[in-house]
């Protein structure tokens, strides 16, 4: 799981997604190479839904790896 903070001049929100940090890093590399145009993720908090994120629409996008407690 990964926390994502999405910021632009109009909003600032934190969401939690099912995808792990490494997978998101791969997706960002694919985005940079032009293989994809946006990130498709499964959001689990604050509500569960399927989302798309275009990082070009945000001033800042932060990704935080969540440490799983066992």
Residue 12 included in any domain: yes
Domain count, the chain: 1
Residue 20 included in any domain: yes
Cα–Cα dist 41/24, whole Å: 9
Mean pLDDT, to the nearest integer, of 38-62? 85
Residue 25 included in any domain: yes
Model confidence pLDDT, tens digit, residues 53-66: 887 777 777 888 87
Q: Closest by alpha carbon to 54, among 34, 64, 40, 35?
A: 40
Residue 70 included in any domain: no
Question: What residues make up the domain containing 33?
Answer: 2-65
User: What is residue 6's predicted lDDT score, i.e. its pLDDT?
Assistant: 84
User: What is residue 42's predicted lDDT score, i.e. its pLDDT?
Assistant: 93
Mean pLDDT, to the nearest integer, of 42-52? 90
Q: Does the pTM exceed 0.85?
A: no
């Amino acid at each position: 799981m990964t926390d994502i903070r999405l910021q632009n001049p109009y909003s600032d929100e934190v969401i939690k997604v099912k995808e792990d940090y490494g997978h998101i890093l791969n997706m960002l590399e694919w985005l940079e190479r032009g293989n994809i145009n946006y990130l498709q993720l499964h959001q689990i908090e604050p509500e569960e839904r399927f989302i798309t994120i275009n990082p070009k629409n945000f001033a800042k996008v932060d990704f935080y790896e969540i440490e799983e407690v066992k």
